[in-house]
Chain A
Amino acid sequence: MEALRPKIYQYFVESDIDGTPISRAFRSVVYQRSKCELATVPFGTEFDVYRAGYEWMNHSLAARDARSVDHDLRVRVGSPDCAQPYDASIFNISAMSYGALSKNAVLALNGGAKLGNFAHNTGEGSISDHHLKPGGDLIWQIGTAYFGCRRKDGSFCEETFAERSRLDSVRGRPASPLTSSPSTAARAAPAPPPRSIPTRSEPR
């Protein structure tokens, strides 16, 4: 019975708006949008708009015709001096490592990024062949450099970093909050060992 509880709860007990981590109402929006099905709800919102914490944006009296607003919103990444600036989509795939995700999941995510012309963050598991095969843009997550651009002694490997950065797919290289930025890391010799900066002690 213990094993059945989550399923019974999800399918029969929980309401559209109280499921966690992601409620049914939000899951449905994703399913509907991913299948290009009707994603609107009838007869007004299910949410209690008088609950403390409810958030919204106001409608303008001078609203625009939605058709006049660009439907492929993008942001330029790279200063005027940058040799290869990147016009990133405002919405991209966040960091999930290969290993945590299956081969097919990574292939499908990167394939989606290729079809929709947006970017796919590799996660700390770094760049696998499955990230490169579909040809979608990549944001290479260096993280603690444990995977991807690390020497055997645990320090940052400038050579691998330079080599992998030159891959056509790689458009961005964020570092995780636990490490210094790639540009700083590339200059620092030797790079600090992973997790040299004290992490917060309180639960997160």
Chain B
Amino acid sequence: MREGLAFVIDALLGFDMKKDIRVIASGKIITGFHIIRTMALGADMACSARAMMLALGCIQALECNKNTCPTGITTQNRGLLAGLVVSDKRVRVANFHKETVKAVSELLAAAGLEATQDLQRRDLFRRCSMMQVCRYDEIYPYPETGCLLHDDPPEWLQRDFSEASSSSFQGRV
């Protein structure tokens, strides 16, 4: 998801459209740090499916594909889904959301920031080897805003930019 998200943001920045478009990222977002990471890459909002299922009481029984979910989440079996008490679990979902957003606020405060909109790629780091730590803007450099409007893609967008057309991302050149 991270490469895809960086690509979407880069393309929007390249066409100078990011200012008009909100990007929602989703993909194994569980903790406050995961939200921070997508927003540092450039997303505006985050969504989570599996973490919300865990908040509903999912025990990761790995039976979602069998209609036998023991927690009544991924099943249409009346006996099993009766085990999911809506009035209890909706509070769990709301609690999980609130506590996670609070964790984001605490991380922002620790980084000296005020809002998720303040996050930039330079705020994150990744260990690339025992010997080296990379800053996120080295791994995912920003393109110059509007560069794609005057046919001047950065090196990492050149191939995709030259192959894409209005009808396909895999045009034949």
What 1/0 mask marks residues of chain B from 85 to 113 whose CB sits below 8 Å from any chain A CB? 11101111111111111111111111111
Q: How far, in whole Å, are A174 and B100 apart by their CA atoms in the complex?
A: 24
Q: Are B117 and A112 in contact (CB under 8 A)?
A: no
A13 CB–B CB distance under 8 Å: no
Q: For B124, what are the chain A residues with a Cβ–Cβ distance below 8 Å? A: 55-57
Cα–Cα distance between A101 and B53 once the two chains are bound (Å)? 10
Q: Is B157 an interface residue (CB 8 A)?
A: no
> Which residues of the partner chain A approach B108 to less than 8 Å between Cβ atoms?
64, 69
A191 interface residue (CB < 8 Å to B): no
Min distance, Cβ B75 to any Cβ of chain A, angstroms = 6
Q: Kindly identify which residue among A7, A54, A95, A100 contacts B26, using a CB–CB cutoff of 8 Å.
A: A95
Asked whether, in the complex, the Cβ of A197 is within 8 Å of the Cβ of B95, the reply is: no
Q: B147 an interface residue at 8 Å Cβ cutoff?
A: no
Tell me how many residue pairs across A and B have CB atoms closer than 8 Å: 251
Instruction: Report if A107-B49 is in contact (Cβ < 8 Å); known contacts: A34-B95, A70-B105, A101-B74.
Output: no
Which chain B residues numbered 18 to 69 have a C-beta less than 8 Å away from chain A? Answer: 20, 22, 24, 26, 28-31, 33, 35-37, 39-40, 44-56, 60-62, 64, 69
* Chain B residues near A187 (CB-CB < 8 A): none
Give bound CA distance, A95 to B108, whole Å. 27
User: How many angstroms from the CA of A200 to the CA of B142 in the assembled complex?
Assistant: 26
- Is B26 in contact with A69, judged by CB distance below 8 angstroms? no
A residues contacting B by CB (< 8 A) are 6-7, 10, 19, 21-22, 26-27, 29-31, 33-36, 39, 49-66, 68-73, 75, 77, 79, 88-96, 99-105, 107-116, 118, 121, 134, 174, 197-198
Residues of B within 8 A of A (CB): 20, 22, 24, 26, 28-31, 33, 35-37, 39-40, 44-56, 60-62, 64, 69, 72-76, 80-82, 84-87, 89-117, 123-130, 168, 170
Between A and B, 10 residue pairs with Cβ closer than 8 Å are: A22-B28, A54-B126, A58-B111, A61-B112, A70-B115, A94-B47, A105-B72, A105-B81, A113-B94, A116-B93
